[in-house]
Amino acid sequence: MMTLMLLSVLIGMCYGLYRLGQRSVSLSVRVFVGLLGGAIFGLLLNVYSALLGAALESFLSWTRLLGGGYISLLKMIIMPLILVSMVAAVIKLEAVSALGRIGSLVLLMLLGTTAIAALIGAYTAVSFGLTAEGLIEGERELARADVLLSRQVEIRDWALPELLLSFLPTNIFLDLTGARPTSIIAVALFGILFGVAGLQLRAQNAALGERLLAGIAVTQEWVMALVRLVIQLTPYGVLALMIKVSASADGDDILNLINFIFASYTAILLMFIVHGFILLAVGFSPRLFYAKVWPALSFAFSSRSSAATIPLNVEVQTKALGNDSSIANLSATFGASIGQNGCAGIYPAMLAVMIAPSVGIDPLSMSFLVPLILITTVSSFGIAGVGGGATFAALVVLPAMGLPITLVALLISIEPLIDMARTALNVNGSMVAGTVTQRMLGTRSAPNDVVETDL
């Protein structure tokens, strides 16, 4: 009976979100309402967990169904979205040389800001006195460590040539299933090559090229229609995820690691400030920039998915920032799997610095800091743009630095509290990369190429 009552509350909250949509309340507002409502309801469940007993676990299994289903749909759209976005971005260019200029600048910005983010993460961890020493591992953390160790075996400790080779697609259909750790970047590279082939076809046969452009435009709109369909479910997915997180959070874990949360948000805020200085350097007002990109940042914050934010990222860049559609598509797509400032830059660097003293290493020594920044930057290729990507990045960086990964398991319990802000930083980094590239190349935007969303 108690489970049915809790389910009735969940259904009522979902209906409330539906009614907000019927009243034309914007998606970003509905997502925030779902986020806040889920957090409050989840905390109440946490407080009365002893009274609810088995009914709480039964209820949470239904929230896992709703939240997990939403995450599965987000994962479903990632590969087709990346493939079509890359092909469309390249095939709309006027020359292959333009791809070289745009792609090089976008990659340089993404990787450069990731290196800066890693440095900020390392020094922030030291400034806050963060260390793995004193963090007690219980049976739950050890069990998580065993699972993560098995994942580490899958990732392997690749040498740099092997890592670079793994980026190349050998079986595109296999990579579309996400079977390899570097499948996302392999799909992106295939999309670029496929787009270059189409670009050459346009140059050789204008009539055939026009039909090809029309076909790509239809395909892109088709995929974007699917993306918009999934995005409309975001308020309900966020509601369920926040209920589960708030209701099952271990208070001791959060209290023990509260300093880590504050340090993480400090590092993320510092990186947002660095982005502002970069924008100033190319003559773009940071205050104006952040006012224009707020819808994309708020969606990224609530969805915890850089990849799912790609269509809104592209729209904000083309409509609000005036970036060329090809630049917007490249920076948004690359930024979802390469050079993620928050997940692939700040997070693994902070963990490495926390662990280093426990194994007798000075985290501020150049012999440790320089390799850490280089490895963090290079390993940022192909980090999945969905919730949990930071854990994957840490599983690559820590073994490469010769450090144990058990701390990663311990921090999973508070991941959602930090991952939302990290994802927003990831998306902001890609939009900064696109804007800086636009300013440096001086290309014009193409309003007709903008992909619409209802946000």
Structure tokens given for 106 = 């976008």
Q: What is the pLDDT of residue 426?
A: 93
CB 67 within 8 A of CB 42: no
pLDDT at position 282, please?
93
- Using the predicted structure, report yes or no on whether residue 451 has a pLDDT greater than 60: no
Q: Output DSSP code: residue 157.
A: -
pLDDT at 226: 86
What gap in Å lies between CA 320 and CA 289, rounded to an integer? 9
Helices (H) and strands (E) in the chain, counts: 21, 0
Residue 446 has pLDDT above 50, yes or no: no
Instruction: Tell me the average pLDDT across 238-250.
Output: 76
Mean pLDDT calculated for residue range 124-149: 62
3-state secondary structure 328-360: HHHHHHHHCCCCCHHHHHHHHHHHHHHHHHHHC
Q: Supply the mean pLDDT for the chain.
A: 80
Alpha-carbon dihedral sign for residues 357, 359, 360, 362: negative
Give the mean pLDDT of 356-379. 85
User: Could you tell me the domains of the chain?
Assistant: 2-446 (1.10.3860.10)
Q: Residue 280: is its pLDDT beyond 80?
A: yes
* 364 vs 390: which has the higher pLDDT: 364
128 within 8 A of 259, measured Cβ to Cβ? yes
- Torsion sign over Cα 446, 288, 426, 297: negative
Handedness of CA 411, 415, 418, 419 (dihedral sign): positive
Bigger pLDDT: 144 vs 28: 28
CA distance 441 to 165: 30
Nearest Cα to Cα of residue 394 among 383, 65, 386: 383
Please name the amino acid found at residue 341: N
pLDDT at 182: 67
Listed ranges 27-31, 159-163, 332-336, 404-408; the one with the highest mean pLDDT: 332-336
Tell whether the model's pLDDT for residue 72 goes beyond 60: yes
Write out pLDDT tens, residues 385-400: 555 567 777 877 887 7
Q: What is the pLDDT of residue 142?
A: 46
Task: Measure Cα distances from 318 to 266, 312, 379, 448 in Å.
Answer: 30, 10, 29, 10
Please give the pLDDT value at position 82.
Answer: 74
Coil, strand or helix: which one is 450?
A: coil
pLDDT, tens digit, 9 for 90 and up, residues 1-11 = 788 888 898 89
CA distance linking residue 437 with residue 323, whole number of Å: 9
Q: pLDDT at residue 148 above 60?
A: no
According to the model, what pLDDT value does residue 272 have?
A: 97
Angle between helices 325-335 and 54-91 (to 10 degrees): 140
Closest among 68, 48, 35, 34 to 6, alpha carbons compared: 48
CA dihedral 40, 46, 51, 57 (to 10 degrees): 100
Quickly state the pLDDT bin for 117 (edges 50, 70, 90): very high
Q: What is the DSSP secondary structure assignment for residue 320, as one 8-state letter?
A: I
Q: What is the pLDDT of residue 153?
A: 47
| Buried-state track 301-339, b at ≥16 Cβ within 10 A, e below 16 | bbbbbbbbbbbbbbbbbbbbbebbbbbbbbbbbbbbbbb
- The model's pTM is 0.64
Separation of alpha carbons 33 and 224, rounded Å: 25
* 8 A C-beta contact, residue 347 and residue 393: yes
Contact status, residue 216 vs residue 198, Cβ threshold 8 Å: yes
User: Residue 137: helix, strand or coil by DSSP?
Assistant: coil
Query: What does the alpha-carbon distance between residue 39 and residue 61 come to, in Å, rounded to a whole number?
Result: 17
- The pairs formed by 220-227 with CB atoms below 8 angstroms and a separation of 24 or more are 220/84, 220/85, 220/88, 220/451, 221/451, 223/77, 223/80, 223/81, 223/84, 224/311, 224/451, 224/452, 226/77, 226/80, 227/77, 227/81, 227/308, 227/310, 227/311
Chain centroid, CA 333 distance in Å: 11
